[in-house]
Amino acid sequence: MSEQFTHGYALLIGVGESAYSNLSLPVTVKDTQAIYAALIDPELCAYPDNEEHIRVLNNQDATKEGILEGLNWLKAKADSDSQATVFVYYSGHGWLEENNNSYYLIQHDIDPFDLTESALAAETFTDALRQIQAERLLVVIDSCHAAGMATSKEGKTTPAFKLPQGFVEVPPSKSLIDNLKQGKGRVVFTSSEGEQKSWIKDDSSSIYTYHFLEALQGAGNKPGDTEVRVSNIMNHLGKVVPESARQLYDAKQTPHFDMDAGDFVITKLRGGKGLPDKGWDEIKSEAMQKINKIADVINQHGKFITNINEAHGLHIGDVYHK
């Protein structure tokens, strides 16, 4: 029988459809939907399937106010549960203002003509994270997406947006990561580093998220393991993401990991049953089918978790109907 990961809490942010359509990144919503589906599956990560443990902010919900409210919700959860494990996943644009080295997360309700006032400053985001007093907190930022991912509300591809003068799109810098990880038990992952981009695998997910889903199913674990630790995810992503980017795009994409605070468990592994004697190789084919099934569900029902309540009872492999 599966075991629940009862002390797990997650905030998943996929900016997706921007109020300024040229900035839309629809694949980011599919990424958060896929991670959500894996987290609530009792045969995989086994997070409790309710909004007291997981909140998803996609499209029009991924506003500056919504994100800060979500972080405040995590603070309250950590305050009430001394054993809380907190997982924050942000997928969207990230821009650096070069003249003052200020970094911004570009949420749904952005005004590109008043960027510094309307965007979510990394300093504000970091301050909110510091208020979360959990001893185990994983922050994943996927914020430097390759060009060609923007889609208008009508589903048409739009020209690449020209960034305002003085801004560049780059992953978070080492100094920003150092700020993000301040506090006990903080671990920070980013999907790329330096001047690299974060590439998509296909229209169903990014390379990073696809392999993240593999790791949640035990791709970085040993036979007999019953839990997935951040080190298991790190080790797997560090090996396979660069290889996929090279094969698909002849490009470099090197995930960055900062886990000075130490290792900890982030999910159950296969509902607590763990990997069989032959390890990942024995279940890899089944795991790939599950990942592809996630993509099928998302393609057929692209808004199945826009309202978090609509997702109750959905598990990977199920056919979902509204």
User: How confident is the model over 202-247, as pLDDT tens digits?
Assistant: 777 889 999 999 999 999 999 999 999 999 999 999 999 999 999 9
Q: Which residues contact 234 (CB under 8 A, 6 or more apart)?
A: 189, 220, 255, 257, 259
The confidence score (pLDDT) of residue 35 equals: 93
What does DSSP assign to residue 172?
Answer: P
As a whole number, mean pLDDT of residues 108-129 equals 88
How does 206-220 read in b/e, with b if 16+ C-beta sit within 10 Å? Answer: bbbbbbbbbbbbbbb
Q: Name the 3-class secondary structure at 264.
A: coil
The sign one gets for the Cα dihedral 178, 179, 184, 186 is: negative
CATH number for the segment(s) 8-311: 3.40.50.1460
Rounded Cα distance, 262 and 187, in Å: 8
The pTM of the full predicted model, rounded to 2 decimals, is 0.86
- The first and second tokens of residue 216, run together, are 């949640």
